[in-house]
Amino acid sequence: MANSVAEFGAASAAPATRSEELFHGQPCHRLTLANGDTVLVAQHGAHVVSWVSGGRERLFLSSKTVWDGRAAIRGGIPVCFPQFNQRGDLPKHGFVRNRPWTLLTAERGDASLCLGLNGDDSIRALWPAEFEARLRVDLLPEKLCVTLEVRNLGTQALSFTGALHSYLAVSDIAQVRLSGLGGQKEWDSLADTHQSALKSLQCVGPFDRVYSAPHAPMHLHDPQGGLEISNSEGWADCVVWNPGAAGCAGMADMTPDAFEHMLCVEAAQVFQPISVAPGGYWSGSQVLRAVGA
């Protein structure tokens, strides 16, 4: 078991108003703080589709996303589980991002949402495991905490990989730098090379690299306002990805220039699967904090 950045069950510090709405036809839940910060979470995939802080949208969401309740949403914070990418026999990034989740009873006050997903017959046909997944979203002034929790309800050990695949909005990828990974092990998946990460990364695409998870926060430096990014110890890896112009051109749900305005900095488990004993649970978080450039 690994603890999240914000312990499960701890009280939220700031009250919020809750509302339900349809966003592109999809049922969603919104939290809004008195300072105007807001987060919007879709039931489809328990997908965070918007986080506005300081009057600015902090997450990238593709204008060409298919909102049919079946396809994965392109942008925001997808939940990848129980498989990262195509490193296994399951659909790419697993199946939970393509499933309807259920809003659970509030456990942590007004400024929190918790959605859950259990295995059913269609899921067991893909992955014969007894589990419960929960996604908890906590909103505080200038801060968003997203926590994935997995409970093993079966009698056999549960093994999985995955990620919180956060698409961060940037003003111009050519002017953005990411710091905090310096010295960490780096695998460049495009060149298939291994090295140590530089102190400051310019992630002009195509850029697709996996890092050993840092122990301190990372910083996304953007002239229009940056982010501090903290991944909990539950995640062994950190993925940084930008598809570049050629990558966007090959995606039906991305505009040709989308790569200029996004950077994925993911809390991830890529290489070594997480194992959860029968009756046990695991949790892993990512905390985003709005800061200056």
Of 149, 186, 260, 266, the catalytic one is 266
Q: Which residues pair with 169 in a beta bridge?
A: 262
Q: Is 165 a catalytic residue?
A: yes
Name residue 191's amino acid: A
Compute the CA torsion angle 285, 84, 277, 107 (nearest 10 deg). 30
Q: Which residue matches tokens 């093993």?
A: 152
Q: Is 215 a catalytic residue?
A: no
Which amino acid would we find at residue 105? T
Q: Which residue has the tokens 């105007």?
A: 36
Whether the CB-CB separation of 142 and 290 falls below 8 Å is answered with yes
CA distances (Å), origin 26, targets 42, 73, 101, 121, 253: 7, 11, 12, 24, 17
| Cis bond before residue 82 (omega within 30° of 0) | yes
Catalytic site residue from 165, 186, 219, 260: 165
Pick from 20, 23, 21, 79: which is nearest to 46 by CA? 79
Just list the catalytic residues.
165, 266
